[in-house]
Amino acid sequence: MPGAYDDVALDRHFQALGRRLDHIEEQLKRIANAGGVDYATFAEVNQVPEEVVLLAQSGDRLGAIKKFRELTGAGFEQAAEAVAGL
């Protein structure tokens, strides 16, 4: 039935969208660099540690928040905001 999605289907869809957006951002960064224009990702601008980025990309949002707090000493809200922006 059109318009009816279960949690698994939605999760797959959002994961696919996330991967596609990661690819688009990487391409944008390459194009900007080739054109001599500075471009930085959200993670780079906000100095999000690579370990946190990898956890968030793998779908472990809570783990990414915990790791961000561990590595930076940030509070929960700041860490959650940083991870949500990835």
The helix-helix angle for 76-84 and 61-72 (nearest 10°) equals 130
Which tokens go with 45?
Answer: 């601008």
- Rg from Cα positions in the chain: 15
Tell me: the pLDDT tens digits for 10-19? 888 888 898 8
Per-residue pLDDT reduced to its tens digit, 29-85: 999 999 999 888 888 888 999 999 999 988 899 999 999 999 999 999 999 999 998
Token digits of residue 55:
């956890």
Question: On the CB side of 37, how many CA atoms lie within 13 Å of its CA?
Answer: 7
DSSP letter string over 24-42? HHHHHHHHHHHTT-----H
Does the pTM of the predicted model rise above 0.95?
A: no
Residues 6+ apart with CB under 8 A from 57: 18, 22, 86
